[in-house]
Amino acid sequence: MPQLDGTDEIRLVHGDGGRATARLIKEVFLPHLRDESLQLADDAAAFEFAGAAQMAVTTDTFVVSPLEFPGGDIGDLAVCGTVNDLSVNGARPRWLTAGFILEEGLEIARLSSVVNSLADRAAECGVSIVAADTKVVQRGNGGGIYINTTGVGQVLVEADLGYHRVRPGDAVVVTGYVGDHGLAVLSHREGLEFSTPVVSDTAPVWPAAGRLLKEFGGRVRFMRDPTRGGLASILAEIADSASVDLLVEEEKIPVRHEVQGAADMLGLDPLYMACEGQMVLVICSEAAGEAVEALSELTSAPAVIGQVQAGTGLLKMRTPLGGTKRLGLLSGDPLPRIC
């Protein structure tokens, strides 16, 4: 009987976007799905279509609970999440498909409101919903609404991105405040109220991603949106996959005061909480300042937060007091159904 982390059953931790998810993919999915174009550990696959421009395809399923949260709903998330996966792979988002699983007993009014959000967000992002599907499952076999979106985009000729392009000396940039989405969903779900409300950052990163690629071309080495697992998990993945060390400065990482406060109260770390409208970039250090300047018109709090060093795959964080600690993938209590 196959086992994963000492259990022969799927546990919630297998969906956390951290260490356990990585093992699930590596040990259960990849042995069967060996297709060379498949990069399950990556967020989109790019390939040529009939001799035309490079096309990127990505798929993502959304199971967020509750369906509505401060700053958006599952319809907003289902569009932005997939648009963002295309964007960080250097592809202009063009088309989406949407597959709905509806639970018996769902209010039609709520469904209608979610479909409306999805349509509005798609229009905002300039993508067309080209195919859709609905299935209904019995009460107690769903979560109200689950949505899969699959996106097709056109890779910009300027894009030359990948772990293999990350090199020592490069700068690490984040586009804005981290942890907002995870904390907004979690606190809304738990009925917590804070004096300053925390709102999800759900938004498309496309205009920003496209502008950076047009302006800086191959000097942008790598882009990724830090969703499940948060900023720290993505940084740990970059270090591991590119076989370099990353050194980040804790005090340079943009975290809203109210998010840090609420996270502290809950015993959580914003660096491991999902964002839904941010990017992490690795960029040639000479271009980093200009990139932050360009981003400042488009994103909430762009900042150079660290640098790439020759190394063995470690993520290191320098604390305000001058110490350095090592961070890894998210590994611990999962925050289920954040996206």
Question: What backbone phi and psi angles, to 5 degrees, belong to 64?
Answer: -60, 145
Residues 6 or more apart in contact with residue 28 via CB below 8 angstroms = 2, 4
What is the C-alpha separation between 311 and 265, in angstroms, rounded? 35
CB 150 within 8 A of CB 274: no
Asked if residue 142 binds a second copy (CB under 8 A), the reply is yes
- Which of 26, 66, 126, 131 lies at the binding interface for a second copy (CB under 8 A)? 131
CB 172 within 8 A of CB 280: yes
Minimum separation from the CB atom of position 204 to a second copy (A): 17
Which CB sits closer to a second copy, 75 or 176?
75
Give the total of residues touching a second copy (CB under 8 A). 85
Asked if residue 202 binds a second copy (CB under 8 A), the reply is no
Asked if residue 157 binds a second copy (CB under 8 A), the reply is no
Q: Choose the stretch contacting a second copy; rule: CB under 8 A; options: 27-35, 170-178, 196-204, 256-264.
A: 27-35
- Which of 68, 124, 132, 296 lies at the binding interface for a second copy (CB under 8 A)? 132
Residues 34-53 that bind a second copy (CB under 8 A): 34-35, 37-40, 43-45, 47, 49-53
What is the C-alpha separation between 253 and 174, in angstroms, rounded? 8
- Which of 26, 29, 197, 325 lies at the binding interface for a second copy (CB under 8 A)? 29
- Which of 72, 73, 100, 222 lies at the binding interface for a second copy (CB under 8 A)? 100
Structure tokens at 72: 């958006």
* Contact string (CB under 8 A) for a second copy, positions 54-83, x = contact: -x-xxxxxxx--------------------
- Which of 68, 70, 119, 313 lies at the binding interface for a second copy (CB under 8 A)? 119
Structure tokens at 207: 């205009």
CB 92 within 8 A of CB 210: yes
Q: How many other CB atoms are found less than 10 A from the CB of residue 265?
A: 11
Q: Please name which of 234, 242, 241 lies closest in space to residue 305, comparing C-alpha atoms.
A: 234
* Contact string (CB under 8 A) for a second copy, positions 215-254, x = contact: ----------------------------------------
Asked if residue 325 binds a second copy (CB under 8 A), the reply is no
Amino acid at position 195, single letter: S
What is the C-alpha separation between 219 and 134, in angstroms, rounded? 43
Asked if residue 121 binds a second copy (CB under 8 A), the reply is no
Residues 266-305 that bind a second copy (CB under 8 A): none
Cis peptide before 66 (omega within 30 of 0): yes
- Which of 74, 78, 83, 106 lies at the binding interface for a second copy (CB under 8 A)? 106
